[in-house]
Structures are given as structure tokens and as C-alpha cells.
Amino acid sequence: MNLNATLVAQLVVFFILAWVTMKFVWPPIVKALDERAKKIADGLTAADKAKSDLAHAEKKVVEEMRKARESATDVRAAAEKQAAVFVDEARTEAARIIAQAREAAEAEAGVAAQRAKEALRDQVAQLAVAGAEKILRKEINAQAHADLLANLKQELQ
């Protein structure tokens, strides 16, 4: 063999091997590489989507927390208003009860004063009769004195 024929044979074998490799070996390798690149791209897309979902969820949590705080503030304000209303109602009821008690006490005191006046009138009338009896020292007509006492009571009123 001469050098040129060997070189040509090697070139022919190289090109046949290159053609077989390009026809049968290279496409599955390229396909596997493309699938791997697609999986990596899908993973990166999913990671980006997960990041955006996480950011959205965090914003939603912050918004819900804000709403919950506002709601708690509103509930507390409503409770304070209701407590103030209850306190005002209790004060009003207490004032009404006190006024009723005062009126009853005043009425009772008026009745007691009237009884005391009547008792004093009776005592004054009895003292007057006793004094007149002592002054006159004579027989007293009970009916005439009863009429005098009744007239005296009427005059004192």
C-alpha cells in the first residue's frame, strides 16, 4: 500500500464513520440534549412562577392582615360604643330610681309632717282644755268642749 491509497482509505472510512455518526448517533444525543434543555427551561419557568406566586401570596397575606386589623379596630370601636350606651342607660336608670326614691321619701315625709301637725293640734287642744279647766275650775260640758276642740282644729289647719 502506498501512502496515498492509505490516506484515501482512511478518508473514506472517516467519512463513512462521520456519516453513520451523524445519521444514527448524533440525532438521539441532540434529542436528549434538547429534552434536557427543555426540562431546565421548564424548571426555571416554574421557579419564576413560584417566586411570583410567593410574592403574590405575601401581598395577599399583608392585605388580609391589614383587613383583620381594621376589622378588629372596628369591632373594638363598636364594643366601646355599646359599652358607653350601656353605661349611659345604667346612669339614666339609676337617676330615675333615685328620683323615684326621692319622690317617695318626700311624700312619706309630707305624710309624717301632716301626722305630726295633727298630733300637735290634738295636744294643743288638750292642753288648752286642761288650761281652761284649771282656770274655770268648774264643771265642764263635754259636748260643748268637743265642739270647741273641733272648731279649734279647723282654725289651726
Predicted structure pTM score: 0.42
Enumerate residues 6+ apart whose C-beta is below 8 A from 82: none
**Residue 62: per-residue pLDDT:** 95
**Torsion sign over Cα 48, 53, 58, 62:** positive
Which residues does the chain have with pLDDT short of 70? 1-2, 131, 133-141, 156-157
Residue 73, phi-psi category: left (phi > 0), alpha (psi -120 to 50), beta (remainder): alpha
The residue ranges of every structural domain in the chain are 6-115
Of 49, 48, 30, whose CA–CA distance to 38 is shortest?
30
In the Cβ-directed half-sphere of 119, how many Cα atoms lie within 13 Å?
A: 6
Distance of alpha carbon 84 from alpha carbon 79, whole angstroms: 8
What's the confidence (pLDDT) of residue 126? 79
Three-state secondary structure call for residue 141: coil
Residue 53 has a pLDDT of 94
Cβ atoms of residues 128 and 93 within 8 Å: no
Can you tell me the distance from the alpha carbon of 17 to that of 144, in angstroms, rounded to the nearest whole number?
A: 166
- Angle, helices 142-156 vs 26-136, to 10°: value is 140
Find where cell 360604643 sits. 81
Give me 148's grid cell. Answer: 270647741
